[in-house]
Amino acid sequence: MGNVPEWASFADEEQYTAFMAAVENYLIDHGISYTLEGGFVNAEEDYFGSPRLGLQNMLQYCVQNPVETYMDMVKNQFDTTRENHLFNEEFKKIEDDFEKVKEYIGVRIYDSGYMANISGDAVLAREISENLFAMLIFDQPYSVSNIPPAKLEKWNKTADELFEFGIHNMRDHYPVPINEQDFEGFRIWYASVGHFFVPNIIFDLKDRPELLGSKGALIGIPHRHAVIIYPIEDAEVLQAINVLLPTVYNMCVQGPGSISSSLYWYHDGELTELPCGVQDQSLAFYPPENFIQFIQTLDKS
């Protein structure tokens, strides 16, 4: 696609050019020394608090808006990153005191690609399904950051206690309204909210029977702002997969905050990935054997 690199393939050339111009304009205006490398900016650590800033999510936000707004959007994002750095400098002074930081403790869902870029001894995370992880985080005013394992001893808490505490915190702080609606002939439940914790609704499924079918559900978690749930009752699920799979895949590609392009099968309190991938320019579905066996038991009338 012309001069658009792979990491920005969801943008057209005009969008990409306007975005990169906005990025460089901000850095130059603020006198920040920098280099560009792939989808990252390498900049002065003492300004942003990190020597390396990713650009993909920022671009995903921008492409959903007119190019004339990119300068302001990029400025707002970089300003927020700067404010977060200043907040973190103060937060470090209190982060060993559980009572002072407990309101910030949360749990957020990430994909395996994100987790692969983080050292395992730097995070408290659990695999909740294939390529899907729950991670303990500080939910701060301008960003989220991982909670390191060393905090368990500092706070005299177990990981189980913190995960339970964090899930409860995010449930209280970030409601996830979900509505039943018709989607291309199928009844689904759909949640879409501006905060980052919409996927956390999966922690509540066991207590939300109205969202599930008698045979479980298909779950789509394309990005941090949306969840799709299709209750499974019978073999109609096969037609639903044909509709939902490309929908979830495309939503994941567009982002922002992409999590999974796959569907998940919720059954017996567990999530099983139903993988997909692009093959010969078409979307291919690779269900595991236990899901194939399950489908064969469904009423096809």
pLDDT for residue 301 is more than 70 = no
Q: Name which of 265, 182, 179, 180 is nearest 221 in CA terms.
A: 265
Query: What average pLDDT does the chain have?
Result: 93
Torsion of CA 260, 264, 269, 270, to 10 degrees: -70
pLDDT in tens, 67-107: 999 999 999 999 999 998 899 889 999 999 999 999 999 99
Q: In the predicted model, is pLDDT for residue 225 greater than 60?
A: yes
User: pLDDT band at 122, cuts 50/70/90?
Assistant: confident
Give the three-state DSSP class for 126.
strand
Is pLDDT at 270 greater than 90 in this prediction?
Answer: yes
Burial of 178 (0-12, 13-18, 19+ CB in 10 A): buried
Q: What confidence category does residue 8 fall into, taking pLDDT thresholds of 50, 70 and 90?
A: very high
Q: Where are the domains of the chain?
A: 6-91, 98-173, 179-296
Could you read off the pLDDT of 208-221 as tens digits, one per residue? 999 999 999 999 99
Q: What is the pLDDT of residue 278?
A: 81
According to the model, what pLDDT value does residue 281 have?
78
pLDDT of 191 over the 90 cut: yes
Q: Is the pLDDT of residue 32 over 80?
A: yes
Where residue 133 falls (left for φ over 0; alpha for ψ -120 to 50; beta otherwise) is beta
The pLDDT assigned to 279 comes to: 79
Contact 286, 277 (CB under 8 A): yes
Q: Identify which of 236, 217, 242, 213 has the alpha carbon closest to the alpha carbon of residue 227.
A: 217
Instruction: For residue 82, give the nearest of 44, 35, 49, 39 by alpha carbon.
Output: 49
pTM across the whole model: 0.79
pLDDT score at 2? 64
What is the average pLDDT across 135-161? 93
β-bridge pairing 263-267 and 217-223: antiparallel
Q: Which pLDDT does position 24 carry in this prediction?
A: 96
254 is written with which tokens? 């567009």
Check residue 88 and give its pLDDT. 87
Taking residues 131-149, what's their average pLDDT? Answer: 92
Q: What percent of the chain has pLDDT over 90?
A: 80
- What's the chain's length in residues? 301
Give the separation between CA 242 and CA 119, rounded to whole angstroms.
37
Percent of the chain with pLDDT over 70: 98
